[in-house]
Structure 1
Amino acid sequence: MAQSQAWVKRYLKAFCKGFFVAVPVAVTFLDRVACVARVEGASMQPSLNPGGSQSSDVVLLNHWKVRNFEVHRGDIVSLV
């Protein structure tokens, strides 16, 4: 009984340490480097979402290129 309680205590301690390290790293990555977004609707057809309104595409938005002003003609830009 005491061993199982010690195991749970160690597990929760390790989980909390990992959580408090992983969350700031993930938030920083999603804010500064890249994030994932869904493309829905007919605004980008036929390049993205070619199947119509029933389907959606998933794209990776590269924040790094925009911050360094490396946007060129033909690039897809997303506005929030």
Structure 2
Amino acid sequence: MAQSQGLVKRYLKAFCKGFFVAVPVAVTFLDRVACVARVEGASMQPSLNPGGSQSSDVVLLNHWKVRNFEVQRGDIVSL
């Protein structure tokens, strides 16, 4: 019984260490570099979501290029 409690305690300690490192890294990445978004509806047809309301497209939003003012003509910008 004592061994299983020690194992659980070590597991929880390792989980907390990993959690408190992974969450800030993931949040920073999604805020500063890129994130994934879903395009639904007819607002971007025919370029995105050509099937209308039956389907949706998934896009990668690149925050890095916008922060460095590297947006060019023809790029799709999401607000």
Q: Following the alignment from structure 1 to structure 2, what is the Cα–Cα distance between the partners of residues 54 and 7? A: 49
- The runs of at least 4 consecutive aligned structure 1 residues that moved more than 3 Å come to none
Q: Following the alignment from structure 1 to structure 2, what is the Cα–Cα distance between the partners of residues 29 and 60? A: 13
Q: How does 1:44-55 map to 2 (within 5 A)?
A: 44-55=44-55
Percent sequence identity over matched residues?
A: 96
Q: Following the alignment from structure 1 to structure 2, what is the Cα–Cα distance between the partners of residues 2 and 69? A: 59
Cα deviation 1:9-63 (Å, max 9, x = unaligned): 0000000000000011011001100011000110111111111112111100000
Q: TM (normalized to structure 2)?
A: 0.97
**What secondary structure sits across from 1:21 in the alignment?**
helix
Structure 1 unmatched runs, 5+: none
Q: Following the alignment from structure 1 to structure 2, what is the Cα–Cα distance between the partners of residues 77 and 38? A: 14
**What secondary structure sits across from 1:53 in the alignment?**
helix
Aligned residues: 79
Shift in Å, 1:70: 0.3
RMSD: 0.6
**Which structure has the highest helix share of the two?**
2
Q: Following the alignment from structure 1 to structure 2, what is the Cα–Cα distance between the partners of residues 7 and 50? A: 53
